[in-house]
């Protein structure tokens, strides 16, 4: 049913999330960025407050100090320059800290990806209809609700903050300048910390909401799951290329051994066993190489290149494979079967055309493709 209607009933896979992140769709909270910026900014202002207050006081005193020298050499540019020198360094450091905090908060929740193409202009953003849809659609209503809740909470925090300070704040300007600057400065920092704490609360509520909405947005249909699985498995061409590389690697490892072989027994494709017999070196045929799967196919291809006889005896190939290690003589139970095949190969090399032998495998050394005893299997 879900496949017909395209219902998104499946949770997004890791690949789906990664692809979405590369397109700019990441877990993001504007409230977290704002909270981080305000808290970092308030902390910095608290630390450098005495420095900035002293610099500002000196700049203001210099601006309002009038004497004969100041009147004769009036230089407002110099006064402005002194004020900028006093204020700009801490402000620039503050700006750098705020930008860094905002970037870290967003990149941290957004899997650390920077997507430059998100900076490109998009026509859909300039389309009035798209804008109205964003404003009055479900997402717009959610954002409006969040905005109202944010205004309500921050307004309540600001109101509570101003309750005990209103009289003092309205009286600023009638006392000592340094004391007024100090009070106003600390009042501003206190307000920033209070508002920052409110934004942190909002962000902690907003992050789970954003996570849920993103997962809901990235949910997949049954067809999308199948397509992704098919894509991850790869196309037939890609699979063939991988098998070709595996086979070449296998060939490189078995090449020297295969040059010693006299013939190869196969399953025909699952198993391959290469044997050689030299009466002066061994009392019985020796397995010089063996393999299964891709290695077995590589052995067959290499045998064709070396013009070695390749004989299909499934039961015998499995028996030798599971009972004999490489560089080891075959089991005594297999002497008769292997000897008949060896005689056939030697006859072919002499140019004769003998009948292909029928071999009999003792029940004690018969195996299926998984290596389990299989007394009922034939040759």
**Domain CATH number, residue 281:** 3.40.1690.10
Average pLDDT, the chain: 77
How confident is the model over 313-327, as pLDDT tens digits? 999 999 999 999 999
In a domain, 229, yes or no: no
In a domain, 197, yes or no: yes
The reply to whether 76 and 189 lie within a common domain is yes
The reply to whether 255 and 194 lie within a common domain is no
In a domain, 3, yes or no: no
Least confident of 21-35, 141-155, 255-269, 301-315: 21-35
Transcribe 97-146 into DSSP letters.
HHHHHHHHHHHHHTTT---GGGGS--HHHH-HHHHHHHHHSHHHHHHHHH
Who wins on pLDDT, 341 or 67?
341
Who wins on pLDDT, 293 or 136?
293
**289 DSSP assignment:** E
Three-state SS at 12: coil
Final residue of a structural domain among 184, 217, 250: 217
Tokens of 17: 């999330």
The reply to whether 33 and 127 lie within a common domain is yes
pLDDT at residue 177 in the model: 60
The reply to whether 137 and 95 lie within a common domain is yes
The reply to whether 208 and 242 lie within a common domain is no
pLDDT at 4 over 50: no
Task: Give the list of residues 6+ apart from residue 184 with CB closer than 8 angstroms, or none.
Answer: 169, 172
The reply to whether 178 and 209 lie within a common domain is yes
In a domain, 102, yes or no: yes
pLDDT at 344 over 80: yes
In a domain, 142, yes or no: yes
In a domain, 71, yes or no: yes
Nearest to 201 by CA among 31, 44, 43, 42: 31
pLDDT tier for residue 155 given thresholds of 50, 70 and 90:
confident
* Domain enclosing residue 135, as ranges: 26-217
The reply to whether 192 and 50 lie within a common domain is yes
Per the structure, the count of domains in the chain is 2
pLDDT tier for residue 340 given thresholds of 50, 70 and 90:
very high
In a domain, 295, yes or no: yes
Alpha carbons 341 and 336: distance in angstroms, whole number? 9
pLDDT at residue 366 in the model: 92
The reply to whether 248 and 172 lie within a common domain is no
The reply to whether 165 and 287 lie within a common domain is no
How confident is the model over 210-223, as pLDDT tens digits? 788 878 888 888 77
The reply to whether 358 and 251 lie within a common domain is yes
In a domain, 53, yes or no: yes
The reply to whether 113 and 36 lie within a common domain is yes
The reply to whether 189 and 308 lie within a common domain is no
pLDDT at residue 336 in the model: 94
Final residue of a structural domain among 152, 187, 217: 217
């Amino acid at each position: 049913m879900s496949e017909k209607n395209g219902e998104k009933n499946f949770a997004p896979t890791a690949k789906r999330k990664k692809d979405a992140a590369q397109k700019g769709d990441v877990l993001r909270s504007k409230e977290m960025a704002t909270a981080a910026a305000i808290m970092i900014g308030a902390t910095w202002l608290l630390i450098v407050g005495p420095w900035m207050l002293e610099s500002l006081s000196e700049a203001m005193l210099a601006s309002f100090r009038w004497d004969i020298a100041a009147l004769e050499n009036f230089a407002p540019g110099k006064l402005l320059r002194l004020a900028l020198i006093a204020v700009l360094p801490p402000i620039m450091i503050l700006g750098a800290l705020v930008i860094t905090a905002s970037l870290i908060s967003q990149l941290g929740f957004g899997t650390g990806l920077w997507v430059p193409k998100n900076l490109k202009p998009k026509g859909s953003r300039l389309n009035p209809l798209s804008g109205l849809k964003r404003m009055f659609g479900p997402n717009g209503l959610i954002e409006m609700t969040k905005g109202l809740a944010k205004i309500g909470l921050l307004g309540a925090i600001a109101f509570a903050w101003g309750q005990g300070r209103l009289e003092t704040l309205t009286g600023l300007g009638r006392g000592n300048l340094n004391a007024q600057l100090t009070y106003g400065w600390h009042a501003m920092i206190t307000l920033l910390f209070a508002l920052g704490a409110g934004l942190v609360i909002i962000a902690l509520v907003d992050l789970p909401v954003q996570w849920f909405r993103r997962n809901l947005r990235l949910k997949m249909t049954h067809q999308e799951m199948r397509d992704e699985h098919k894509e991850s498995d790869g196309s037939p061409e890609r699979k063939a290329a991988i098998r070709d590389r595996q086979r070449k690697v296998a060939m490189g490892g078995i090449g020297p051994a295969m040059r010693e072989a006299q013939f190869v027994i196969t399953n025909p494709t699952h198993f391959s066993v290469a044997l050689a017999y030299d009466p002066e070196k061994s009392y019985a045929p020796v397995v010089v190489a063996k393999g299964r799967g891709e290695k077995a196919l590589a052995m067959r291809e290499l045998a064709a290149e070396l013009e070695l006889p390749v004989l299909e005896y499934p039961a015998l190939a499995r028996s030798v494979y599971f009972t004999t290690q490489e560089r080891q003589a075959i089991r005594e139970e297999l002497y008769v079967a292997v000897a008949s095949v060896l005689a056939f190969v030697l006859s072919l090399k002499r140019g004769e055309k003998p009948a292909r032998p029928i071999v009999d495998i003792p029940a004690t050394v018969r195996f299926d493709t998984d290596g389990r005893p299989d007394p009922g299997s034939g040759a």
